[in-house]
């Protein structure tokens, strides 16, 4: 475990208020989802999951075809597709366009893909202001933090912290009533919407047969971002494609319910191209940035390819016993929870944080609630094997390998095993029948110590099974 990961985890565990906030927020999301997918509320739930999985599998397995179809349809409706390999290419495109159109202000709606490439920071570095407009994301931008959760980005902050933050950064009175805080943000952001030249969004889905970007939200900020400014840019990973508009009947039913328990979120926008001849409002220019940023590397591995099926509902985070204790900011990259644990090593390489695939109890709750049926525990196991393979090749953890070799040899030699058991029991004597919390100094070496810091050892019995067997 890297020192940073370790420190963040321990800080989170030690913060009682934060523990309560995470537990409450995820608990509420669990309840809402549960009520929305009962057999009474949604009899066809399992059928929809199977269909969503089949559709994603088909699309990802034929991704080149659907990317080309999508591009052709965007172009046919007067929009433009921009292909980007990485963060730099996206920033260059946005900066170039902004310069050409003399744009000074950008409004942005929530997008994990733009978090992934630090788009705001890159634009601000070139003196182009980019304002987040989702309430939670706006708060985080003011606080210079990254999202804590895929769908509830600011769940770790209290209203008092938000009050202090608004007072400090916006020069308003310190307000702790949430309704009033929301209205402060509404007023500030409304001006930004009306003044902005460019709106940047992500995409929940890209519809190949329509050349459309689908956005799902509750606040209305994505609608404003795509309706008020004269340029709309959607930044999306290449895996966001679905074949047909009609397939939304499957995905929209699953996404809202899995994320927040909503049968439909407040606003679902289906956007294809700039404003047309007889339409009164809407953007004059429409761009879709198709981003690779590591996705094609992942695509090549057919065993783990299903990681790209994710529709970012966040259900696996809420149901993960590890996420619920260590929280979102302990994770080393923008994606947290079980989905973060499988896509981070694949996007960034296993060396980025080798202990990440091990930060799981493999209980399987994530796979059970995943609306597109990604087998997250299986992918985690594959990644663990990769981490170990990588360590083997680079010759680290020789001690661990040696220990397991010795262990294997002992286990294969019954006489040696028996002697070892007697010696071990002698070195860690039972105090009464109490569980062992630590063993005496000669054996209390760092690996054993670390292991026992989280676990209690049962005391050795007075007589071993083998002994009892012999004396039966």
Q: Is 396 left (phi over 0), alpha (psi -120 to 50) or beta?
A: beta
What residues from 162 to 191 belong to the interface with another protein (CB under 8 A)?
A: 162, 178-179, 181-182, 185-186, 189-190
Of 72, 377, 387, 34, nearest to 241 by C-alpha is 72
Q: Which of 11, 19, 269, 355 binds another protein (CB under 8 A)?
A: 269
Q: Which is nearer to another protein, 173 or 396 (CB)?
A: 173
Q: Could you say whether residue 150 binds another protein (CB under 8 A)?
A: no
CB of 113 to another protein, least distance (A): 15
Contact, 217 vs 266, CB < 8 A?
A: yes
**Window of 261-269, 339-347, 453-461, 462-470 that interacts with another protein by CB under 8 A:** 261-269
Q: Which lies closer to another protein via its Cβ, residue 4 or residue 246?
A: 246
Tokens for 282, please give them.
Answer: 């809407």
The CA-based angle 54-214-50, given to 5 degrees, is 15
Q: How far is the CB of 43 from another protein (least distance, A)?
A: 10
**Interacting stretch for another protein, rule CB under 8 A, among 267-275, 331-339, 392-400, 434-442?**
267-275
Using CB under 8 A as the binding rule, whether residue 270 contacts another protein is answered as: yes
Distance CA 58, CA 177 (A): 48
Largest CA distance in the chain: 95
- For residues 199 and 208, give the distance between their C-alpha atoms in angstroms, rounded to a whole number: 22
Strands 129-132 and 105-108: parallel
Task: Using alpha carbons only, give the angle 78, 82, 88 rounded to the nearest 5 degrees.
Answer: 150
Among 267, 352, 358, 417, binds another protein (CB under 8 A): 267
Q: C-beta of 84: minimal distance to another protein in Å?
A: 6
> Residue 160 CB, nearest distance to another protein (Å)?
10
In the bound state with another protein, the residue whose beta carbon lies nearer, of 209 and 418, is: 209
Q: Which is nearer to another protein, 178 or 445 (CB)?
A: 178
152: contact with another protein by CB under 8 A = yes
Name which position in 170, 173, 263, 408 contacts another protein (CB under 8 A).
263
- Binding flag, residue 273, another protein (CB under 8 A): yes
DSSP state string for 282-316: S-SEEEEEEE-TTHHHHHT-TTTGGGGG-----HH
CB of 171 to another protein, least distance (A): 19
- Annotate 373-407 with b (16+ C-beta within 10 A) or e (fewer): bbbbbbbbebbbebbbeebeeeeeeeeeeeeeeee
Which positions from 429 through 448 interact with another protein, judged by CB under 8 A? none
Distances (CA, A) of 350 to 243, 380, 437: 32, 11, 33
Considering only residues 398 to 427 of the shown chain, the ones binding another protein according to CB under 8 A are none
Taking the least distance from each CB to another protein, the nearer of 208 and 428 is 208
Among 28, 101, 378, 438, binds another protein (CB under 8 A): 28
With CB under 8 A as the contact rule, the residue among 22, 33, 51, 382 that binds another protein is: 51
Least separation in angstroms between CB 133 and another protein: 7
Q: How far is it, in rounded angstroms, from Cα 381 to Cα 46?
A: 25
Specify the residue, 189 or 317, whose C-beta has the smaller distance to another protein.
189
- Name every residue whose Cβ is closer than 8 Å to that of residue 296 and which is 6 or more positions away in sequence: 238
Burial 246-270 (b: 16+ CB within 10 A, else e): ebbebbbbbbbbbbbbbeebeebbe
CB atoms within 10 A of CB 305: 19
Q: Choose which of 18, 131, 271, 322 interacts with another protein (CB under 8 A).
A: 271
Task: Count the residues of the shown chain that bind another protein, applying the rule CB under 8 A.
Answer: 100
Nearer to another protein (CB atom), residue 48 or residue 320? 48
Q: Which 64-123 residues touch another protein, going by CB under 8 A?
A: 64-65, 67-68, 73, 77, 83-85, 89
Region 326-385 residues binding another protein, contact defined as CB under 8 A: none
Q: How far is the CB of 59 from another protein (least distance, A)?
A: 8
Residues in Cβ contact with 436 at an 8 Å cutoff, skipping those fewer than 6 apart: 428, 430, 452, 456, 457, 458, 459
Which of 213, 204, 210, 288 shows the shortest CA–CA distance to 243?
210
Q: Which residues, numbered 126-145, are part of the site for another protein (CB under 8 A)?
A: 133-136, 139
In the complex with another protein, the residue whose CB is nearer, 265 or 344, is 265
Identify which of residues 178 and 450 has a Cβ nearer to another protein in the complex.
178
Residues 208-247 that bind another protein (CB under 8 A): 209-212, 218-221, 223-224, 226-228, 238, 243-247
Q: How far is CA 121 from CA 107, 290, 293, in A?
A: 14, 20, 17
């Amino acid at each position: 475990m890297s020192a940073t990961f370790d420190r963040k985890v321990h800080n989170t565990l030690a913060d009682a208020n934060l523990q309560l906030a995470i537990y409450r927020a995820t608990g509420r999301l669990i309840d809402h989802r549960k009520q929305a997918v009962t057999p009474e509320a949604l009899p066809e739930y399992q059928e929809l999951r199977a269909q969503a999985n089949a559709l994603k599998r088909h699309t990802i397995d034929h991704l080149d075809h659907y990317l080309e179809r999508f591009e052709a349809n965007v172009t046919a409706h007067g929009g433009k597709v921009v292909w980007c390999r990485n963060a730099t290419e996206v920033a260059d495109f946005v900066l170039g366009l902004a310069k050409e159109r003399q744009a000074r202000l950008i409004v942005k709606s929530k997008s994990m893909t733009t978090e992934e490439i630090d788009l705001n920071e890159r634009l601000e570095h070139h003196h182009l202001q980019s304002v987040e407009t989702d309430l939670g994301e706006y708060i985080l931008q003011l606080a210079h933090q990254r999202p804590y959760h895929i769908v509830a980005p600011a769940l770790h902050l209290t209203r008092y912290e938000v009050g202090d933050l608004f007072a400090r950064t916006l020069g308003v009175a310190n307000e702790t009533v949430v309704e009033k805080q929301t209205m402060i943000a509404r007023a500030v952001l409304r001006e930004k919407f009306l003044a902005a030249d460019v709106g940047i969004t992500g995409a929940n889905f890209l519809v190949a047969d329509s050349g459309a970007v689908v956005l799902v939200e509750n606040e209305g900020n994505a609608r404003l971002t795509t309706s008020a400014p004269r340029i709309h840019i959607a930044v999306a990973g290449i895996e966001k494609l679905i074949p047909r508009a009609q397939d939304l009947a499957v995905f929209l039913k699953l996404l809202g319910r899995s994320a927040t328990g909503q049968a439909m979120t407040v606003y679902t926008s289906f956007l294809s191209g700039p404003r047309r001849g007889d339409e009164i409002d809407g953007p004059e220019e429409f761009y879709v940035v198709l981003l690779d940023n590591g996705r094609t590397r992942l695509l090549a591995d057919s065993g783990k390819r299903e990681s790209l099926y994710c529709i970012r509902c966040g259900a696996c985070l809420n149901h993960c016993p590890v996420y619920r204790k260590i929280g979102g900011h302990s994770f080393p990259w923008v994606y947290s929870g079980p989905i973060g644990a499988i896509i981070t090593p694949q996007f960034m390489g296993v060396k980025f944080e080798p202990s990440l695939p091990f930060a799981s109890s493999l209980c399987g709750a994530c796979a059970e609630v995943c609306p597109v049926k990604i087998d997250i525990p299986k992918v985690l196991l594959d990644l663990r094997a990769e981490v170990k393979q990588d360590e083997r090749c680079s010759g680290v953890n020789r001690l661990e390998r040696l220990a397991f070799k010795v262990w294997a040899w002992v286990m294969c030699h019954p006489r040696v095993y028996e002697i070892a058991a007697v010696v071990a029991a002698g070195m860690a004597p039972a105090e009464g029948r109490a569980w062992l919390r630590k063993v005496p100094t000669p054996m209390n070496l760092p690996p054993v110590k670390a292991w026992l810091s989280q676990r209690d050892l049962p005391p050795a019995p007075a007589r071993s099974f083998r002994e009892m067997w012999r004396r039966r």
